[in-house]
Each structure stands twice: as structure tokens, then as C-alpha cells.
Amino acid sequence: MGLFNSLGPYTGPYRVDGDTWITTVDVSMNPAWVGTEQTRTFQIGGDRLQETSPWMPRPDNRMARAVITYQRVK
């Protein structure tokens, strides 16, 4: 259940503005996100892409954000 509670998959068309990408959500595990815009900042350095979400309230009333690093496979 811990993994399920940490997931937030969504999809839809996106646009890039500087170091931010904005997705207009068409489909999401969280129905409240459908029709909204999800904004993430990113940094690219060498073979890495780091994505950072905004701070968001969790169900336990704490605040959290995701910082995800992707590494290019060579």
C-alpha cells in the first residue's frame, strides 16, 4: 500500500516554458487532477534530468514534494 500511496501518474499534452513543463491532465490516477494543469520544474545536467514538483499537502496533513532524477542509459 505504501507504493500505491506514493504514486501520482497522469498524462496529457504538455508545453515547456523555460525550466518548467506544464501538463494539461487528460487521464490521472487522481480524478481531481483531470482538466487541471500540473507544473513541474526541471534541470538538465550532463546525462541527468531532475524533476521537482511543487509542495503539496498529503492526506496526513504534512507537506511533501517529489524530486526525481532520471539518468540517461548509454
pLDDT at 8: 72
Question: pLDDT grade, residue 2 (50/70/90)?
Answer: low
Q: Which of 7, 65, 72, 13 is nearest to 40 (CA)?
A: 65
Query: What own/partner pairs with CB < 8 Å and gap ≥ 24 does 56-59 have?
Result: 59/5
pLDDT at 3: 56
At 5-64, the pLDDT tens digits run: 666 789 999 999 999 999 999 999 889 999 999 999 999 999 999 999 999 888 899 999
Question: pLDDT grade, residue 1 (50/70/90)?
Answer: low
